[in-house]
Structure 1
Amino acid sequence: MRKLIVPTAMLVSLFFLTLISCKKNEISASIQADINTPFDSALVKTFFTEHPLLKKYQGDVEKLYQKHQYHYVWYDKNGINEFGNVLYDKINSLKEEGIQNTVPYLDELDLVYDNMDDNRKPNVDNDLLNSALYFYYTETVYDGLDVSKSKEMEWYLPRKKESYVNYLDALLKDASLINKEEKGVLSQYFLLKEVLSQYRQMEKKGGWKTIVSDPKFKSYKIGDSSKTIAQIRQRLFISDDIASDSKSAIYDKTLAAGVLKYNKRSGNASSTVISKELIKDLNVPVAQRIKTLMVNMERCRWISNDVTKTKELIAINIPAYELTYFRNGKPELHSDVVVGKTMNKTVIFSAAMKYIVFAPYWNIPKSILEKEVLPGIEKNPNYLEEHDMEWNKENVRQRPGPKNSLGLIKFLFPNSNAIYLHDTPAKSLFNKEDRAFSHGCIRVAKPTELAMHILQNDKEWDKEKIEAAMNRGEETWYTLKNKIPVYIGYFTAWVDTEGIVHFYEDVYDRDEELADLLYIK
């Protein structure tokens, strides 16, 4: 009898396994039948009536299901498909994207994914909820605030336009595409995202302590000794500006290298002197740096990565006071710049550079004519001659030459803001940390070098000819053979090609307003 027990048990087990397998096949077949059967299109309207917080996505959802002839999008024979699970994880990880939004109907979505076994059978509401939240995710992470909001922030750079209906088909075939920096998001976004993760880890560990300095302190130089030096050393170690913390209170060369590194990535003067201003900068809390990273990730959402793929590009970052000339996506020239002062902000926009003007006249703007020139003439009859100026019909202009306020060359990209790049005789301004001094136009520290890069493939020009035209004292216009896009942007945090994050002063006080729009506290 005992010998029959084992075979009998095996037969029973085999019977139940077969039964379960048959049951699974029946369920899968039933699910597949439902997937192959379109649902009533009227249910889309009903869903958005019941989910008003998602109504703005109704148009995209309707386009999606019209394309799929009202078949289920988020189900396969095993239940909710792979990308559905990926999207759910992404929606629950928005904090990693620098976003603090409250996701609408997340509790409803949780019920779907927390009870996967009970939700294998296709459900219209669940499918529509996934679709609506897919468009919520792509808009929030890839596009950011709508155009009207960015214009309120005086951001007039062209916003990218993307369709996420077709993109979903690719993701449904290969869910891993969503992790491959897709959909034209500016690559800088992903660099800032990585730094955001690092700074959040610093925050979890307590960030950095406030540096307390002696009230009598004015500055520290190499060789000085103070408890404050030890605090600065610890602070720079936490932010990876020095490799180790010796805890020494003596200002040595290792700490000096860290101070130089920090100054470079903060837009400060290249100096090893520890000043009150530097300590104030070092005392900006890690929470504030995190907010700055999040705000600038949002700005990255507003620019398509396609801009970096142009053959040539001139980019100016206002808070960094820096111009970069790119060729084939690689930086070939960096130049310090002077931008508009707070009362005459340089506008955030783009236009195509078309002309270079050698030895330019400066046509005095009406505002400067009324506020400065005409009062000067009243006080001093020789005012125009002393400033190399002359009447030109009803206007005043400054003659070409070394005293001209535009210097010896200007670069024109016609625009309604009347902004352009130009040389300047006031070279000393480039030695200052804060360089917001102009009436709105952008003064370039390396104008000759910029002209050489722009004209490097133009056989009509070489360095000698460029310098000769600049110093001829006669205005000469040259039309570029290839128009070059000029982008004037505003980023207070930027990660360089070496992976080092740079923080810049919010010269026009734009960060806090944007943070408020993003609900970043």
Structure 2
Amino acid sequence: MRSTFLSYAFVAVNAIAVSASSGEPVYAQSMVSAFAQSVAEAAAREGEVAAFYRANAYQPIWTGDSEEDLARRKALFAALSKAGDHGLPVIDLEALKTRISNVGSVRDLGAIEVEFSKLLVDYAQNVNSGILTPGRIDEGIVRKVNRLDGAEVLKGFTLTSPDNYLKTLPPKNAEYSRLMREKLRLEAAIQHGGWGPKVLAKALKPGQSGDAVIALRNRLVRMGYLNRSASRTYDASIQEAVQQLQADHGLTNDGVAGAGTLAQVNVSPEKRLASVLVAMERERWTNFERGARHIWVNLTDFTAKIVDGGTVTFQTRSVIGKNVSDQRSPEFSDVMEHMVINPTWNVPRSIATKEYLPMLQRNPNAVSHLKLIDRRGRVVKRDAVDFTKFTARSFPFAIKQPPSSRNALGLVKFMFPNKYNIYLHDTPSKSLFAREVRAFSHGCIRLGDPFDFAYALLAKQSRNPKATFHNALDTRRETQIALEQHVPVHIVYRTAIAPAKGRVTYRRDIYGRDAKVWEALKNAGVALPGVDG
């Protein structure tokens, strides 16, 4: 772009004003008033932008001919030209330049002034906290996003170096930068023809040969899992490459290319790129201070981690909510305050009425390990109740399970009080942690190693965390231990994961949420470079 194109427009408008008035300052003043009026009109429906200009007495920050205005225009155009690097909608800058070159009145100039401010605010908010409103995409994405205030964006931009200000806006966490690098890698793969033909086989295993094995070999080479090879047999090098791919995709890494493995091998780089763009948007949703120590639960890879100073210091397998409408685990952040050892399970009413009431209507002695409690807190004898008289709405009892090793919550639960009634807990159903896909709960997060998780949390406040835990456990009574240092908990959903070391890994879109996010991003104008548009 020409560096002075807008200055020319501004000078031309002022020249018209001066020549028409023979240089009289009264007319010049009227032109200033006309400009202010045009800005006020253009910004009237833009609340935060209008608030900035009211506070700024409608003075221009873009359309003047000063060095400061020129620097702001250059910085904004440079940022907008690279919006696609962040997976944001790309602005047609040439069309904008044409509009600017056609400025012929003070009214036009005021409209362009406001247009620039709107572009800055939109870019700042999009690159800082995301394009989309999470709650409008899926009812399980209940994450609240902190949007930058537009008036504060404009104010901050004018009070510092424009280039430096714009650099502060994107997420600063290393994961975001690594996702950006993966985006570039995938775009390059797409530009060079992708990863080759799909592997047309139901399953392949070591020792086999044939066209399907050759297709697998070639695809693994192009994906970066295998060095160039002329082998026509499923040999040890192909088996090792398959095992690495399986590990990177949350699969059982047995080296056999079964249906699940081949499904992941055959995913296109375009689809992987979409996953990366979605992950970048999700990173922007969580662009806030996560806590020097925090808990990171990624639903898609069935893990729960304790992170200290950016380093994972503890990790365990998890079980998440079933993939049914009322049991999927939600995405949100809160703060863990305490743990409960030997917990009582207060059965949620939805479970009590949907699952247990029909059982009790068929057999009053069903689920005998559970206690019925009336509204006065008394245990109810089942033989005194005709359960067939009740509906889900009229059922008058609470259902509880006392502490025991058979308790549905196991022997410990970790509480971060929230309106969704979600928490982390132990479980007696240990076999589920050996499954590849672990979506079996009613929504809460079950932990594979809950005791070790508790020790890690208590290590910050106890010289002997194991003894502290077991002293409470051995009482067999429900005991609450407060965490002296509350710990932020972030329940997230990432199908593209960029670890500090190694390649980016991918997971199944277990709830179909990322597909919805991608559709919303496309509707907002995001495109796959070289693929869409």
Give TM-score, length-normalised by structure 1: 0.80
Matched, 1:338 2:325: no
- Aligned partners of 1:313 and 1:327 also within 8 Å: yes
1:79-104 CA distances to partner (integer Å, 9 max, x unpaired)? 95233123213323332221346x4x
Cα–Cα, structure 1 residues 366 and 263, in superposed 2: closer, same or farther, change >3 Å?
Answer: same
Residue correspondences, number:
473
Whole-Å Cα distance in 1 between the matches of residues 451 and 363 of structure 2?
A: 35
What is aligned with 2:243?
Answer: 260
What is aligned with 1:16?
Answer: none
- Aligned partners of 1:229 and 1:248 also within 8 Å: no
Which of residues 88, 92, 107 in structure 2 aligns to 1:99?
88
1:365-418 CA distances to partner (integer Å, 9 max, x unpaired)? 333334444555566676445xx4444434333332322221111111112211
Matched, 1:202 2:189: yes
What is aligned with 2:519?
Answer: 516
| One-letter identity of the residue aligned with 1:157 | R
What is aligned with 1:304?
Answer: 287
Whole-Å Cα distance in 2 between the matches of residues 459 and 155 of structure 1?
A: 36
1:424-461 CA distances to partner (integer Å, 9 max, x unpaired)? 12222111111111111110112112111111121375
Of residues 500-509 and 392-401 in structure 1, the stretch that sits farther from structure 2 once superposed is 392-401
What is aligned with 2:79?
Answer: 90
What is aligned with 1:139?
Answer: 125
Cα deviation for residue 496 of structure 1 reads 1.1
Cα deviation for residue 507 of structure 1 reads 1.1
What is aligned with 1:20?
Answer: none
Which of residues 222, 225, 231 in structure 1 aligns to 2:215?
231
What is aligned with 1:220?
Answer: 205
1:199-219 CA distances to partner (integer Å, 9 max, x unpaired)? 1111111111233334xx544
Whole-Å Cα distance in 2 between the matches of residues 153 and 368 of structure 1?
A: 20
Whole-Å Cα distance in 2 between the matches of residues 460 and 38 of structure 1?
A: 71
Cα–Cα, structure 1 residues 489 and 138, in superposed 2: closer, same or farther, change >3 Å?
Answer: same
1:450-488 CA distances to partner (integer Å, 9 max, x unpaired)? 111111121375213324533543221222222222111
Matched, 1:162 2:148: yes
Whole-Å Cα distance in 2 between the matches of residues 70 and 439 of structure 1?
A: 55
- Aligned partners of 2:412 and 2:426 also within 8 Å: yes
Which of residues 420, 443, 446 in structure 2 aligns to 1:443?
446
Which of residues 57, 61, 69 in structure 2 aligns to 1:73?
61
Matched, 1:413 2:416: yes
Cα–Cα, structure 1 residues 47 and 423, in superposed 2: closer, same or farther, change >3 Å?
Answer: same
Question: Runs of 5+ in structure 1 lacking a partner?
Answer: 1-23, 50-54
Whole-Å Cα distance in 2 between the matches of residues 410 and 439 of structure 1?
A: 15
Whole-Å Cα distance in 2 between the matches of residues 256 and 408 of structure 1?
A: 41
| One-letter identity of the residue aligned with 1:98 | G
Matched, 1:127 2:140: no
Matched, 1:324 2:305: yes
Q: Secondary structure at the match of 2:289?
A: helix
- Aligned partners of 1:340 and 1:439 also within 8 Å: yes
Cα–Cα, structure 1 residues 403 and 81, in superposed 2: closer, same or farther, change >3 Å?
Answer: same
| One-letter identity of the residue aligned with 1:91 | L
1:175-208 CA distances to partner (integer Å, 9 max, x unpaired)? 4325645365655333322211211111111111
Question: 1:102-121 alignment to 2 at 5 Å?
Answer: 103=91, 106-111=93-98
Q: Secondary structure at the match of 1:41?
A: helix
Whole-Å Cα distance in 1 between the matches of residues 440 and 401 of structure 2?
A: 20
Q: CA RMSD in A?
A: 3.4
Cα–Cα, structure 1 residues 461 and 364, in superposed 2: closer, same or farther, change >3 Å?
Answer: farther
Whole-Å Cα distance in 1 between the matches of residues 340 and 463 of structure 2?
A: 15
Whole-Å Cα distance in 2 between the matches of residues 331 and 456 of structure 1?
A: 15
1:223-248 CA distances to partner (integer Å, 9 max, x unpaired)? 44343233223222322233x22132
Matched, 1:429 2:432: yes
Whole-Å Cα distance in 2 between the matches of residues 180 and 255 of structure 1?
A: 43
What is aligned with 1:41?
Answer: 36
Q: Secondary structure at the match of 1:433?
A: coil
Whole-Å Cα distance in 1 between the matches of residues 359 and 41 of structure 2?
A: 72
Q: Secondary structure at the match of 2:300?
A: coil
Q: Secondary structure at the match of 1:274?
A: coil
What is aligned with 1:357?
Answer: 340
Whole-Å Cα distance in 2 between the matches of residues 76 and 286 of structure 1?
A: 47
Question: 1:239-250 alignment to 2 at 5 Å?
Answer: 239-242=223-226, 244-250=227-233
Whole-Å Cα distance in 2 between the matches of residues 163 and 494 of structure 1?
A: 30
What is aligned with 2:403?
Answer: 400
- Aligned partners of 2:140 and 2:328 also within 8 Å: no
Cα–Cα, structure 1 residues 428 and 499, in superposed 2: closer, same or farther, change >3 Å?
Answer: same
Whole-Å Cα distance in 1 between the matches of residues 110 and 442 of structure 2?
A: 59
Cα deviation for residue 115 of structure 1 reads 10
Q: Secondary structure at the match of 1:334?
A: strand
Cα–Cα, structure 1 residues 129 and 379, in superposed 2: closer, same or farther, change >3 Å?
Answer: closer
Give TM-score, length-normalised by structure 2: 0.79
| One-letter identity of the residue aligned with 1:297 | M
Whole-Å Cα distance in 2 between the matches of residues 163 and 396 of structure 1?
A: 47
What is aligned with 1:315?
Answer: 296
| One-letter identity of the residue aligned with 1:158 | K
Cα–Cα, structure 1 residues 185 and 42, in superposed 2: closer, same or farther, change >3 Å?
Answer: farther
Cα–Cα, structure 1 residues 81 and 406, in superposed 2: closer, same or farther, change >3 Å?
Answer: same
Of residues 363-372 and 314-323 in structure 1, the stretch that sits farther from structure 2 once superposed is 363-372
Q: Secondary structure at the match of 2:295?
A: strand
Cα–Cα, structure 1 residues 328 and 433, in superposed 2: closer, same or farther, change >3 Å?
Answer: same
Whole-Å Cα distance in 2 between the matches of residues 468 and 274 of structure 1?
A: 48
Cα–Cα, structure 1 residues 184 and 228, in superposed 2: closer, same or farther, change >3 Å?
Answer: closer
